[in-house]
């Protein structure tokens, strides 16, 4: 876990140091909020194998703040944080999964329509079965991708981005009264597509679109736990996004 947090802190410092604004430029800032109505599909993971039941997962709203800081014509820093709870049902149990999702990226302008970005991804979630906390998973790592902005009219735009991610972390699990820890590695992709409209009098952008995320997780270390229970699994999250940001300059 210390390795994960050390990497997270180091990458944040690198992003901030590279993007330190020059005094000759004004700093453009966008702040706002986003929501993601999310469907969650999971392959047979360790919880499903323990319960020996196939879960029924209800879609839910994830929500949180968004921030963008433009330091000059070439670089800007963006951040999106999302939080939500999924209700999962089986024939015998009620399961609640709390999920946290953070994206932090430094963007570089290639031309008027295209940007490349490098950043970090953090995913954390906990699982409660019948009011008993049984699992907690935290992982983070780098991401790399491209984003595009295509103007349709003076105030209407198409926005798209896609990134590959590679994560590592730890998973804690309560089983038969004992606490077990596992090391994990994950890889996958994020993608977002939306239509954005700039409301000039309010200096506000409203965007509506969709988001898709795929994560494949592999257990690479386990201690004292039946190895046959540790099957690799994948998660898919997809749904509708709505975001509003207010733009100003300092």
Q: What per-residue confidence (pLDDT) applies to 27?
A: 80
Q: What is the DSSP letter of 23?
A: T
Q: What per-residue confidence (pLDDT) applies to 78?
A: 94
**3-state secondary structure (DSSP) of residue 186:** strand
Bin 203: left if φ > 0, else alpha if -120 < ψ < 50, else beta: left
Does 21 map to a domain? Answer: no
- pLDDT average, residue stretch 79-85: 95
pTM of the predicted structure, to 2 decimals: 0.85
pLDDT at 245 over 60: yes
- pLDDT average, residue stretch 81-91: 88
- pLDDT average, residue stretch 44-55: 63
**3-state secondary structure (DSSP) of residue 32:** strand
Q: What's the domain count of the chain?
A: 1
* Contact of 43 with 54, CB cutoff 8 Å: no
Task: Give the pairing type, strands 204-222 and 114-129.
Answer: unpaired
Does 63 map to a domain? Answer: yes
Which of 183, 195, 171, 199 lies closest to 50 in space, CA to CA? 171
Q: Tokens 């988001």 appear where?
A: 211
The CATH number for 123's domain is 2.40.128.100
Does 146 map to a domain? Answer: yes
* Contact of 199 with 206, CB cutoff 8 Å: yes
Q: What per-residue confidence (pLDDT) applies to 167?
A: 94
pLDDT of 153-189, one tens digit each? 989 999 999 999 999 988 887 766 777 778 889 999 9
The residue segments making up the domain with residue 88 are: 2-16+27-249
Distance CA 15, CA 95 (A): 37
Does 22 map to a domain? Answer: no
Q: Which two tokens stand for residue 96?
A: 């609640």
Does 156 map to a domain? Answer: yes
Mean pLDDT, the chain, whole residue set: 84
- pLDDT average, residue stretch 35-58: 75
Q: What per-residue confidence (pLDDT) applies to 133?
A: 67
Calculate what percentage of the chain has a pLDDT beyond 90.
53
């Amino acid at each position: 876990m210390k390795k994960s947090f050390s990497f997270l802190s180091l990458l944040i410092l690198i992003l901030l140091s590279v993007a330190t604004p020059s005094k000759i430029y004004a700093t453009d800032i966008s702040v706002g909020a986003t929501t993601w109505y999310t469907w969650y599909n999971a392959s047979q993971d360790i919880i499903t194998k323990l319960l020996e039941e196939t879960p029924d997962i209800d879609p839910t709203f994830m929500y949180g703040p968004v921030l963008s800081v433009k330091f000059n014509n070439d670089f800007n820093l963006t951040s999106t944080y999302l939080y939500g709870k999924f209700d999962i049902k089986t024939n015998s149990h009620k399961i609640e999964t709390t999920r946290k999702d953070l994206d932090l990226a430094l963007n570089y302008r290639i031309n008027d329509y295209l940007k490349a970005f490098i950043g970090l991804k953090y995913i954390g979630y906990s699982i409660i079965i019948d009011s008993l906390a049984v699992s907690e998973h935290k992982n983070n790592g780098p991401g790399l991708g491209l984003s595009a902005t295509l103007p349709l009219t003076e105030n209407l735009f198409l926005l798209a981005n896609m990134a590959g991610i590679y994560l590592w972390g730890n998973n804690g699990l309560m089983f038969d009264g004992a606490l077990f820890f596992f090391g994990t590695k994950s890889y996958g992709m994020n993608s977002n597509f939306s239509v954005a409209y700039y409301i000039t009098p309010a200096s506000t952008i409203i965007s509506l679109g969709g988001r898709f995320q795929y994560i494949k997780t592999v257990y690479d270390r386990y201690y004292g736990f039946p190895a046959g229970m540790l099957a690799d699994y994948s998660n898919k999250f997809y749904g509708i996004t709505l975001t509003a940001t207010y733009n100003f300059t300092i």
